[in-house]
Structure 1
Amino acid sequence: MTQFLPILILFLLFAFNIPVGYCLLAAGLSYFVFLSPGMPMDMILQSLVAQSQSFTMLAIPLFVTAGVVMSYGGIAGAIMDFAEVLIGHRVGGLAQVNILTSTFMGGCSGSGNADTAFNAKIIVPEMEKRGYTKGFSAAVTTCSSCITPIIPPGICLIIYATAANQSIGDMFMAGYLPGLLIAAALMVVTDFISKRRGLKPSRDKRATGREVLAQLGRSIWALLLPLGIIMGLRLGVFTPTECGAFCIMFSAVVGALIYKKLKWSMVPKILVESAVTTACIMFILAGANMFARYLTLENIPQTLATAIMNFTDSPVVFLLIVNIFLILLGMFMDSAAALIILPPLLVPIATKLGIDPIHFGIIMCLNDTIGGASPPFGILLFTCVSIIKVKVSEYIREGWPLLLTLLACLLLITYVPGISLGLLRLFGS
């Protein structure tokens, strides 16, 4: 039973409201120092540094920096303005813009963490000025960020495809409809909540066709960024990490030369904001990586996967158990770690039960993402509340309808394979 002591330590530290990064590090270190003392301390510390220096993880600071450059250079504003023209006339207009921006940004950042940080820094302050509570703003931002990893080029789609030996192109194609379904569902529920709270639209009336075209002309350079990223990745021009560097360069050129809002005097502020935000996120991910190493060394995920297989041979029951298991796991582990460890264990079981591995991949990615947005331990949740400075209890109180909406979408996507596989069947694998 001592192998579960780090999990108990983690829960106790969370109960005392210790920051999540410290909780994860303390729980992980308790295992390596006291329960598995054979590993030298310098190797443990080197593993933390190695995590932050990996080529894949470099995508996070690059996309965070890209988001800050977009903000200062007017690109993020152009995307928001276009989203506002399309949906700002609805009740709770800025909350709807938040969700729609996350959908547009799916092709830009590809990372739920990066999108959470982006919207928390850019849209939430304006929401607060217009009367939205911090808890509701945090809930909309975090839950809508679950869209980003599912819409290509989501990093989790790439990691799963690699770990499960599946086609990245097929995973990309399978992600579009689930992402759009989640966006539509969140917008419907947000509209209902906004009406009950009397939240006003951000526009007095619906935009005319001429106004939409005019804003499209002003925002076209910003909207070309997602298209450029998708085409670049699909054609093999650059990797997701190189894509982050491309976003920074593109945003800087467009912000300075086209929108003419980016100035040399802004560079120090951009670097400081990017460094601080990146440090917070990477510190949490480093702690999550150490805790994931403990789980892996103790074979806890493998043991649970074996128990699932021994429990049932029904695809329906298997998928329900996997959903519960992965959401709970997503609260503790970074989605990248979970998607590296579990596909080799679960995909053969799913295939044996007649479940398409591409469909199963969307389920896994969505589960891990929703787990990251779920209280009390989700990584996306803590990224958002640390930036907005809001209590987790307030997030839970204001965000439970949106979290239930995510779970409803998850069940629908799980048991209606056509949502994930529809475009693949239409256009061919």
Structure 2
Amino acid sequence: MSTIQLWLPSVLMLVLLALQTPVTWSMAIAALSFFLLNMGEMPLANFAQQMAEGTESVSLLALPLFVLAGCVMNASGITRRLLNLAEVMVGHMTGALAQMCTVLATLLGGLTASANADAAMLAKTIGTQMVQRGYGAPFAAVITSSAAIITALIPPSIGLIVYGFLAEASIGRLFAAGIVPGLLLAVALMLTTHVLAVKRKYQPQRDKRASSRELLHAVIDGLWALSIPVVILAGTRYGIFTTTESGAIVVLYVIGVAIYGYREMRWRDLPEVLAESVRDSASVMMMICAAAAFGFYLSWQQVPQVMSGWLAGTTTNPIAMLLLINLVLIVLGTAIEGSAALIILTPMLLPLIDAAHIDKVHFGIVLITNLTIAGITPPVGGLMYISSQTLKVPMAAYAREVAPYLAVMMVLLVILSVFPQLSLWLPNMIYGTGAVQ
């Protein structure tokens, strides 16, 4: 095969991404170019076949189900209840609205399943209130987009489901592994926010700390939603249902809560919610299909093996290897959108982490954290664009404001990489060291 045939699909995809072509179309067109160049060796119908094979996994059934569950919860008043809980918990703190943003993102992590959806919701609700109450618009954009990263770690996360499918890793263990890093990220964001809020004299939302009775009432009001991650982990741990089946269980659970518990949704509202979930799921599934076809091109050209061989020649130490991979991912993350990078790079890196004896679950948490941090990194961060466009913040102003948050997240990323037990102790405790869920 000529050099043009070898490199044209990759170059074409990068050019399309640079021209701001949607990620799905960039990968699909690049993959199609590979099949067109090789029509003499394989039929063009293989392109459609490879795209279809990208969806042939039982584990992917969890994705549209959890998306549907999130859409139902958003339509049933759950966001308002959790926002009230966040205010009761941290409304007395300096920079209360910004702190509420992080707490709300943590509470919603098990519901929206999408960092992009979380960023949009936080920017529209808390972000606009922050600007109205004297917070800087760039600061509001940064905290709403940064807090949304928590959603990528706390179950059920779409990123964890997709990674589990690509890496053939236990999605149940991945869900459990994301909880502690997600909470650590929330604490790191709140500490950073506190320092900045004190410096800028951002005011509390409440005159005094909420009473124990008020806190208890707010917790009870939001208990239905807060119990969802517990339902997932307990059900999979005791074999009541698999992780994939848990998506269907959660859908039935939240529909019952929405209609008969909170009573803020009716059966006739369900078709509109279903349509929203179909649109959201379809966009992710189409990206997976395009990535499957592009992944066939990479495999055909043995790109993962070449990349793994190059990195393996640099060091044999697992921690040093993981830090080196992090460095590569950070550089790539500034140019490639996180979801695309996850789908493209996971198959490339799997042979390397297997050879270095790095746990797949641990690596998945590090990978998802790294690539989601890229969502707030200029120039192509998806979370950055969502919050900035909602709050009308120029990229230059956002880039200046995001620096302290990026620094803190990078430190946390190194800590997660060097100390795998931060990710692994909870799944090992719940499922055991050798269980596959």
TM-score by length of 2: 0.79
Post-superposition offset of 1:393:
6.7
Distance 1:309 1:147, change over 3 A: same
Unaligned runs of 5+ in 1: none
1:239-388 matches, cutoff 5 A: 239-328=242-331, 331=336, 333=340, 335=342, 338-339=345-346, 342-343=349-350, 345-351=351-357, 359-371=362-374, 374-377=377-380
Post-superposition offset of 1:228:
1.0
> Paired residue for 1:213?
216
Post-superposition offset of 1:215:
0.8
Larger mean Cα displacement after TM superposition, 231-240 or 179-188: 231-240
Distance 1:11 1:64, change over 3 A: same
Does structure 1 residue 90 correspond to structure 2 residue 89?
A: no
> Paired residue for 1:75?
78
1:222 to 222, 225, 228: 225
1:227-242 matches, cutoff 5 A: 227-242=230-245
2:303 and 2:348 in contact (8 A); partners too:
no
Distance 1:153 1:234, change over 3 A: farther
Distance 1:55 1:165, change over 3 A: closer
2:119 and 2:383 in contact (8 A); partners too:
no
Distance 1:280 1:253 in 2: 27
Larger mean Cα displacement after TM superposition, 31-40 or 419-428: 419-428
SS at match of 2:222: helix
Post-superposition offset of 1:270:
1.8
> Paired residue for 1:7?
10
Larger mean Cα displacement after TM superposition, 34-43 or 214-223: 34-43
The letter of the residue matching 1:235 is: Y
Distance 2:310 2:89 in 1: 49
SS at match of 1:148: helix
Distance 1:47 1:55 in 2: 17
The letter of the residue matching 2:297 is: Y
Does structure 1 residue 30 correspond to structure 2 residue 36?
A: no
Distance 1:32 1:47 in 2: 11
Larger mean Cα displacement after TM superposition, 326-335 or 20-29: 326-335
Write the deviation string for residues 286-318 of structure 1: whole angstroms up to 9, x where unpaired: 444433333333222321111111122344532
SS at match of 1:130: helix
Distance 1:156 1:283, change over 3 A: closer
The letter of the residue matching 2:356 is: A
1:131-142 matches, cutoff 5 A: 131-132=130-131, 139-142=142-145
Post-superposition offset of 1:217:
1.9
> Paired residue for 1:65?
68
2:77 and 2:264 in contact (8 A); partners too:
yes
Larger mean Cα displacement after TM superposition, 305-314 or 329-338: 329-338
The letter of the residue matching 2:7 is: F
Does structure 1 residue 189 correspond to structure 2 residue 192?
A: yes
1:21 and 1:284 in contact (8 A); partners too:
yes
Distance 1:80 1:16 in 2: 38
TM-score by length of 1: 0.80
Distance 1:281 1:181 in 2: 28
1:129-208 matches, cutoff 5 A: 129-132=128-131, 139-152=142-155, 154=157, 174-195=177-198, 200-208=203-211
Distance 2:384 2:197 in 1: 21
Unaligned runs of 5+ in 2: none
> Paired residue for 1:126?
125
> Paired residue for 1:41?
44
1:108 and 1:229 in contact (8 A); partners too:
no
Distance 1:176 1:280, change over 3 A: closer
Write the deviation string for residues 6-48 of structure 1: whole angstroms up to 9, x where unpaired: 3332333333333333333333333332367644333313433
Aligned length, in residue pairs = 421
SS at match of 2:265: coil
Write the deviation string for residues 142-198 of structure 1: whole angstroms up to 9, x where unpaired: 443433343455566677678778776665554433222112112222334445566
Distance 2:176 2:370 in 1: 18
SS at match of 1:146: helix
Distance 2:330 2:314 in 1: 19
Distance 1:421 1:277, change over 3 A: closer
- Root-mean-square deviation (Å): 3.8
